[in-house]
Chain A
Amino acid sequence: MSKRHPLDVVIIGAGVVGAAIAYYAARAGLSVAVVDRGPVAGGTTGAGEGNLLVSDKEAGPELDLALLSAGLWRELAAVLPHEIEYEAKGGLVVAPDEASLGALRDFAEGQRAAGVEAVEAGADQLRELEPHLAPGPVGGFLYPQDAQVQPAQAAARLLAASGASVHLGEEVTGILTGPGGVRGVRTRGGELLAPAVVNAAGTWGGRIAELAGVSLPVLPRRGFVLVTEPLPRVVRHKVYAADYIADVASGSAALQSSAVVEGTPAGPVLIGATRERVGFDRSLSVEALRRLAAQAAALFPFLADARVLRTYHGFRPYLPDHLPAIGPDPRLPGLLHACGHEGAGIGLAPATGVLIAAALTGARPPLSADPFRPARFAADPAG
Chain B
Amino acid sequence: MSPTPRTLVGGAPSATYLLRFDGRELTAQAGQSIAAVLWGAGILAWRTTRQGGAPRGAFCGIGSCYDCLVTVNGRPNQRACLVPARPGDTVTTQEGTGHAELGV
Give residues in A with beta carbon < 8 Å to B. 130-132, 229-236, 267, 302, 307
Contacts and interface: CB of A to CB of B under 8 A. Distances in A.
B50 A233 contact: no
Contact of A234 (B50, B77, B96, B102): B102
Contact of A307 (B50, B77, B102, B104): B77
B100 A232 contact: yes
B53 interface: no
A233 B97 CA distance: 10
B77 A232 contact: no
Contacts of A302: 102
Contacts of B5: none
A229 B100 contact: no
Nearest to B102: A234
B97 A231 contact: yes
Interface residues on B, range: 10 to 19
Contact of B50 (A130, A131, A267): A267
A229 B50 CA distance: 12
A229 B97 contact: yes
Given A132-B102, A232-B97, 7 more contacts: A229-B97, A231-B99, A231-B102, A232-B96, A232-B102, A233-B103, A234-B102
A233 B104 contact: yes
The 4 A-B residue pairs with the shortest CB-CB distance in the complex, in nearest-first order: A232-B103, A131-B104, A234-B102, A230-B97
B103 A267 contact: no
Contacts of B104: 130-132, 232-236
Contacts of A132: 102, 104
A231 B76 CA distance: 11
Contacts of A234: 99, 102-104
Interface string B81-104: 000000000000000110110111
A234 B104 CA distance: 5
A302 B104 CA distance: 13
Contacts of A235: 104
A230 B97 CA distance: 6
Which interface residue of B97, B100, B102 has the most chain A CB atoms within 10 A?
A: B102
A131 B100 CA distance: 15
Interface string B41-52: 000000000100
A130 B104 CA distance: 8
A131 B102 CA distance: 10
Nearest to B76: A229
A132 B102 CA distance: 8
A304 to B, nearest CB: 12
Contacts of A232: 96-97, 99-100, 102-104
A356 B76 CA distance: 49
A229 B77 contact: yes
A302 B102 CA distance: 8
